[in-house]
Amino acid sequence: MIKPMLPTLHRDAPMGKEWGYEVKYDGFRCLVMIEQGSIMLQSRNGKELNSSFPDIISYINEKIEVSDFLAMLPLTLDCELVVLTSTYKANFAAIQKRGRTKAKEKIDSLTYELPATLLAFDLLTIKGENLHSRSLRERKEKLLQLFEQLHLPLSPTVTEKSKFQYVPTFFKHDELWSQIQLEQGEGIIAKKLSSPYNTGKRTTDWIKVKNYKTVTCFITSYQKENGYFHVGVFHGGQVQELGLFTHGLSSEEKSALIAVIKQNSMKEDSNYIYVEPGICLDVYYLELYQNQLRHPEFKQFRFDVEVEECTFEQMSKIQLPISVTITHPDKPLWEEPLVTKQDYLDYLSTCAPYLLPFIKNRLLTVIRYPHGMYGESFYQKNCPDYAPDFVETFTNQDINYMMCNNLETLIWLGNQLALEFHVPFQTIHTIHPSEIVFDLDPPSREYFSGAVTGALMMKEVFDQLKLESFIKTSGRKGLQVYIPLPEGRFSYNATRKFTEFIATYLVSNKPSLFTVERLKKHRGERVYVDYVQHGEGKTIISPYSLRGNELPTVATPLHWNEVKESLKPEDFTIYTVAKRLKGYEDPFQRYTICKDDQPFENVLAFLENNPI
């Protein structure tokens, strides 16, 4: 068993040329020991992780067989085992779920639903040589050379299907910290570049700085045996417990707080002293996980706050980028249910890690609703002269398109009340589609079940062709089925053969249910299978975009097992989708990872030999 070097938690990062900075990812610390014929994934506490992460073991074995890996063994690396959501953030709930799962069948399922990645940040042994006494600078250089030689990714990225990725060192603290805050990442690790690897020691050569949030809450009880203070907020008129803390208080503050609790206690038993809501304070925390504060720590007393202000709603407000000026946050966009501009901006911030990958580097068309649902809307493509510098643009056919490539731009567009985000099927880097999308459009919600039937028929065909497919609601009355493609490989002419084939298959099998008729008046009660829309210059509503409907509905990615008769697109609103994202795996988690593995060439070859 190897005991890892541990960082010391500080409120602020040290500065100076002798320090480097790494992103701190929210996952499992994992020491990786690779010898010929043997791979060990070891947790911080010495627990073997191999059985929970067979996908990682398989990937390393495959890499050993096809690369120069063998010449590097024995090899020991210090890593973080994560489920990435962006370059700067990992999904803690997802990695927890994977770590807790013991049934082999479920583990195998989760390797696809929640793909894990090993992020390597230190090198302890290479070719059997112990590097513990070498400086961090030298160890990182050797680690980078190793990843370059093995053709492994040199920075963490969700779109990369490699399960072994390098964690780079940054030297500009402020730039990295700004990015962590924008993406609501866990924090950073500041590391002294001259430091050796001190096995099993907590050291000030590594400084951990967390991207804490703050909640204003109240004391509910004091646990006498271990000295913990329990806190809560009001939610729906009731007290909601948020967990407990003990860190952050000075001895004087702790004594004073216990005295106040005793003076105002409403009851006491052998374990607790209970107190009515009234003692208000601010508590730092990392995130809310299963309705409990993670890593809570006392910040300050709040004598200026009325206890009624300590609410779950106030806690749920998201800190938006300070570089974006927010105007009229209380402006109502929908009346029933009430949705304000602030609610919309909070939603965009929550879904940004999931929405941005689908609109990044694409020519963006937005539909703006300056008066919410109470006035006219209009399309916008051209970037206005008053756009801030962080808004990137791309000129195409004399239009200076806006591109939404960062969180600031997304929030700025939200403040402009751009409610719908429409994007083409390709990025600015290619003339070929990045995906195929089928639009199943019933005449009204009353006939939505026909779209469900069509989607499931498609899924059956795609599975037989070994094409991985994804599905979302359109945000209105239909469904949209996606097939990711390798970037820049297939033309629109090639994909058109396939979309026409699938549409013809549906119509020929169930002519009373499906149609490819363009004119609405000739469709009757049939579901329109729109395969013509998938073409150069055409656009589609982005996943997680709102729609300008009577209800604040969202174009929502679904798991295939949710696609059934009871499905109702109107159930997926700004509020339900935001809640879903906070406690639910993203159904499009594998979207970019599976692109290069899609056997679409084989499908085209089949169509050539079997024309419609």
**Which of 603-612's residues contact partners 24+ apart within 8 Å by CB, and which partners?**
603/465, 603/467, 603/498, 604/490, 604/494, 604/497, 604/498, 606/465, 607/497, 607/498, 607/501, 612/500, 612/501, 612/504
**Which has the closest alpha carbon to 67: 156, 163, 152, 129?**
152
Chain segment 442-466, per-residue pLDDT in tens: 999 999 999 999 999 999 999 999 9
Cα distance between residue 354 and residue 559, in whole Å: 15
- 3-state secondary structure at position 202: strand
Average pLDDT over residues 489-518: 93
Average pLDDT over residues 557-579: 93
What was the pLDDT predicted at 223?
93
Average pLDDT over residues 78-91: 91
Of 81-90, 240-249, 510-519, 589-598, give the lowest mean pLDDT range. 589-598
Q: pLDDT band at 213, cuts 50/70/90? A: confident
What was the pLDDT predicted at 549?
92
Chain segment 309-351, per-residue pLDDT in tens: 999 888 877 778 878 999 999 999 999 899 999 999 999 988 8
Q: pLDDT band at 612, cuts 50/70/90? A: low
Percent of the chain exceeding pLDDT 70 equals 99
Domains of the chain: 6-209 (3.30.470.30), 213-316 (2.40.50.140), 332-424 (no CATH), 435-609 (3.30.70.3300)
Q: Which amino acid is at 117?
A: T
- What are the start-end ranges of the E strands in 194-328? 202-210, 213-223, 228-235, 238-245, 265-268, 272-275, 280-285, 288-289, 292-293, 297-301
Q: pLDDT band at 178, cuts 50/70/90? A: confident
Asked if residue 118 lies in contact with residue 81, where contact means CB atoms within 8 angstroms, the answer is: yes
- Check whether 91 has a pLDDT greater than 90: no
- Check whether 32 has a pLDDT greater than 90: yes
What was the pLDDT predicted at 518?
86
What was the pLDDT predicted at 260?
92
Show which residues are catalytic.
Answer: 24
Cα distance between residue 275 and residue 267, in whole Å: 7
Average pLDDT over residues 79-103: 90
Average pLDDT over residues 141-160: 90
Average pLDDT over residues 192-215: 93
Average pLDDT over residues 397-422: 95
What was the pLDDT predicted at 113?
82
Average pLDDT over residues 368-394: 94
What was the pLDDT predicted at 594?
86
What was the pLDDT predicted at 583?
62
- Show the tokens assigned to 109: 């399922």
Asked if residue 152 lies in contact with residue 168, where contact means CB atoms within 8 angstroms, the answer is: no
- 3-state secondary structure at position 2: coil
The H or E element that residue 17 is part of is: none
Asked if residue 575 lies in contact with residue 582, where contact means CB atoms within 8 angstroms, the answer is: no
Distances (CA, A) of 358 to 159, 422, 485, 538: 11, 10, 13, 15
Chain segment 96-128, per-residue pLDDT in tens: 999 998 888 898 888 888 889 999 999 999 999
Average pLDDT over residues 560-567: 94
